[in-house]
Structure formats: structure tokens, C-alpha cells
Chains A and B, each alone.
Chain A
Amino acid sequence: MDFEGKTAVVTGSARGIGRGIALELAARGSNVVIADMDEESAREVVAEIKAGGTRSYYCETDVTQQWLTDDMVEAALEEYGQLDVLVNNAGVGGSSGFTTRKTPLVEDWQATFDVNVYGIVKGTQSVEKYMVDRGYGKIVNISSISGRPGFASYAASKAAAIRVAGVGVQACSARHKRQHGVPRPNLDAAVAGYCEVEKIYRRAKRWINAPTDFPANSYRFGAAGTRTDPR
């Protein structure tokens, strides 16, 4: 797979899975915009990508603000002249302190839906017109296997993310067909497995407090035998 000359924007790419995605796309030739709120980590990823020979920059982005995701897309187009791939990866497990709680607070529901669902919607809306007009584009949403049965607030938000993708492709499809009568952008929900990232360690801490949730998930670990690498 060769992404030479392509441009990708990856939200939440300063750390964890997003970082893995950004580095892999860059390794295959793509220019990558690191859209995140953690400037220090983001700059390290940018440096790593540049050292590998493709272009990259840090874009301070809060995906809960539509004007910021609009800026993210406009800046990428200005910088590279085209935008081929948007990876809606930014996500949270709850509002601050969620790791210490057994059951989610309303604030946790709010935060997970603001970022994990509406963040995807906003990122997608920012890029939709450009991609539809161009008649080309790839959007990948990072969901989670807990979007299938799992933790209430986080799981519900990730399940919603899968549906957003399904409905999104139909909407884009219909609109593009009306306007152009030809094929339209792809939109796919990518389901992320458990990864060896900080979030998992935080979740593991929570499992200890809620042992009844453990068996089903540990079975999945056992079946696969290995953990998923962010790449």
C-alpha cells in the first residue's frame, strides 16, 4: 500500500492508537496532520514523521468545537493542497477522574458523547463538502470492541460511532449522487481492538474494582492470545 503524495488528518494522534496510525500512514508515504490538544507529545510525533521523510505539522484541535475542526481541515488544504484521508480517532473514556468511578456519572456520558460521537460528526462535517465535491475521500472512524457489549457510557458512545458511520455513508452517497451522479467518498467504521496504551492500563485499574466485568473481556484476550498493537 502506497500513500505517496496523499494527505491524512488524524485526530488524537499525539499518543496511543492515533500516534500508531499517523506513523504507519507516514511510513507508507503520506503527509500527516497531527490534530490533538497535547502539544508536547504531538510535536514529538511530528518530529518522528519528518525524520522519516514525509511532511507533518501539529494542529491544535479540540474536536468538540466545530470551528476548530473547520480550521483543521482548511489549514490542511492550505498547507498540502489536498486532503485524502480523515481518521476520526480522538476519544475519551469519561470526564476527568472516570477511572476512579465504578459507574459513569452524567458528566462521563456527556464527555464521551461530546468527543467520541459529536467529535466524529464535527470532523466529518468539516471535511464532507470538500470530499463530496471532489468525488473522492476516505474517512475512518475509530470505534471499539466495547461498542459491542461493554461499559455503559464509553460502550454506548462507541456503538453510536459505528452507526454514525453507517448512516453517514448513506447520506454522503445520496447527496453526492444528487449533485454529481458518480461514486462518492468511502466511509468506514474501523473497530479497534484492545491496545497496549495508557487507556487500557487505566481501564484495567477499573476492572479490579468491577471484577464481574472481567471474564468476558479476558476471554477475548485469551482467544486472540496476543494484544493488538496500535499500528
Chain B
Amino acid sequence: MNFKGQVAVVTGGATGIGRAIALKLADKGAAVMIADINEEAAIITADEVAEISGSSAHFVTDVTNVAGCEGLAQATIDSVGPADFLVNNAGIAGSPGWQTRSHSTEDDWKLTYQVNVIGMSNVTSAFRQQMTKRRTGRIVNLASIAGREGGPTLAHYSASKAAVISLTQSTALELARFNITVNAICPGLLWTPMWEQVGERYANDVPAYKGMSPRQVLDAIIAEKIPMQKEQTPEDIADTVAFFVSDDAKNITGQALNVDGGFYMR
């Protein structure tokens, strides 16, 4: 795998899984545009990428803003060149305060769809022309195993990630004739700041996890649900992105791949 001379865009690329993806692609030689709403963190990650692959840029992006997404697409061409890979990673788990509520509110539904689904579509639409024109492109959408089946909390989040899987299939069908592949990744259980809050909510709302710390909740779910008995890491997800954008995956499109130690098998 060598991505020298190729350009990747990672939304939500400043921190967490997005950052791991950016660093992995940089490690294989790609120039990376870090698109994130958090400018300070975006600059730090863009600097890290520049040290690895020699080329990076950052652009402050709110994926819910169509004009902002178009600005990102243009800024990518102007700074690092037209995009070969687009990684739609930006996502949220709810509207502010979601981790303290036991039920999804209308605001949770609206904002989560706005970012995770409509925002993803906004970014893809903004990059569509530069990819179709060059008859090349790889798009990777971050879904979640939460999108594979409902859970006892966070209905809005699970539903939004199921929508991402469906959106991936539709986009794949639309763009196949332009030699563009579109695939999704469904990460399993990762110990991230987001999961820390999910764990808090489980400990409050699910009787089986009452009184546990968030980390204990995660370990209990891993022991119960994950055949390989270990958590996944941002690097696991980054490796899968690298596969989907590589030549090895040139004939794979419209798929959603679970990276979850066997948690879910459909």
C-alpha cells in the first residue's frame, strides 16, 4: 500500500478515530486535509501529518453547513489538490447533554441526523464533482455496529448509523459508473471520550450495569458480547480505511464492514 501523491480528506480528522485515520494515510504517503470544527486540534493534527507525509492542510468545517462543505472542497483543491479519498468520519452522539438523559429528545434526533447523515451527504455532494470529473475516488463512511441493531439507549444514534449504512449503498450505486467506490465501516467497542459518556449513561439507565464505572461497563459488554474478547482501537479502524482506499479494494463497493471482534455477524 502506497498512497504517495494521493490526497485524502478526513472529516472530524482532528481527534479520536479521525486522527488515527489521518495519521495512517499519512504514514502510507498521502497528503491529508483535516476538516474539523475544532480549529486548534485540527492544526495540531495537520502538523503531525505534515511531519509524516510532507503535505497537509486544515479547514474549519461544520458539515451541517452546505456552503462550508463546498468551501472545504475548494480549499482542498487549492491547498493539496483534488481529493482521491474522502473519509466521512465526523459524527456526534446527540445534542448537548445527551449523556445525562435517559431518553432521546427531539433535539437529539434532529442534531444527530443533521451531522451524521445529512452532514455526510453534504460533504459527499461537495466532493462529487472533483471525483466524477477525474473518474476516480474512494469514499469511506464511518457507521457503527449501533447501526446494525437497536440498543437500550441512544435510539437516535443507532438509527442515524443505520441510515449511514443505507446512504452508503445508495451513494455507491450512484457513483459506481464513475469508478468511485463507497463503503462503510462499523466500528465495534472503542474506549474513546464518546464511549466514556455512553458508559456513564448505561450505568445510570441499564439495571445490569448499575453502579459500575464507564470502563467497567465497557469491559462487561466486551466479556459478554465480543467473541474475540477485546476492545477495538482507532488504529483498527484506520487500517480498515487504508484497505478500502487501496487498490486491493478496487472491486468492493456498497459494503459495510464490521470491525468489532465478531460482535455482530451480518
Contacts and interface: CB of A to CB of B under 8 A. Distances in A.
B251 A184 contact: no
A170 B179 contact: no
A173 B228 contact: yes
B251 A193 contact: yes
Most chain B CB within 10 A, of A166, A184, A224, A228, is at A224
Nearest to B1: A1
A166 B1 CA distance: 29
A183 B229 contact: yes
Given A169-B262, A173-B262, A224-B176, A183 B251 contact: no
B227 interface: yes
Interface in B36-85: none
Given A193-B251, A224-B251, A229-B251, A173 B173 contact: no
Contacts of B176: 223-225
Interface string B1-13: 1000000000000
B23 to A, nearest CB: 19
B230 interface: yes
A177 B265 contact: no
Contact of A225 (B177, B228, B262): B177
Contacts of A224: 176, 251, 253
Nearest to A182: B229
A177 B253 contact: no
A184 B226 CA distance: 12
A223 to B, nearest CB: 5
Given A1-B1, A223-B254, A225-B176, 14 more contacts: A166-B265, A169-B227, A169-B265, A170-B227, A170-B262, A173-B262, A177-B229, A183-B229, A193-B251, A223-B172, A223-B173, A225-B179, A226-B251, A227-B251
Q: Kindly list the 8 A-B residue pairs having the minimum CB-CB distance in the complex, ordered from nearest.
A: A173-B227, A166-B265, A228-B251, A223-B176, A169-B262, A225-B176, A223-B173, A169-B227
Interface in A177-205: 177, 182-184, 186, 193
A169 B227 CA distance: 7
Interface string B196-234: 000000000000000000000000000000011110000
Interface in B176-206: 176-177, 179
Nearest to B251: A228
B228 A183 contact: yes
A79 to B, nearest CB: 28
25 contacts: A169-B227, A169-B265, A170-B262, A173-B227, A173-B228, A173-B262, A177-B229, A182-B229, A183-B228, A183-B229, A183-B230, A184-B227, A186-B228, A193-B251, A223-B172, A223-B173, A223-B254, A224-B176, A224-B253, A225-B176, A225-B177, A226-B251, A227-B251, A228-B251, A229-B251
A119 B230 CA distance: 31
Size band of the interface chain B makes with A = 10 to 19
Contacts of A177: 229
Interface in B125-179: 172-173, 176-177, 179
Interface in B114-134: none
A1 B177 CA distance: 29
Contacts of A225: 176-177, 179
A228 B265 CA distance: 24
Most chain A CB within 10 A, of B1, B227, B262, B265, is at B227
Interface in A127-170: 166, 169-170
A188 to B, nearest CB: 9
A30 to B, nearest CB: 15
Contacts of B228: 173, 183-184, 186
B143 to A, nearest CB: 18
B53 to A, nearest CB: 20
A182 B229 CA distance: 8
Contacts of B262: 169-170, 173
Contacts of B172: 223
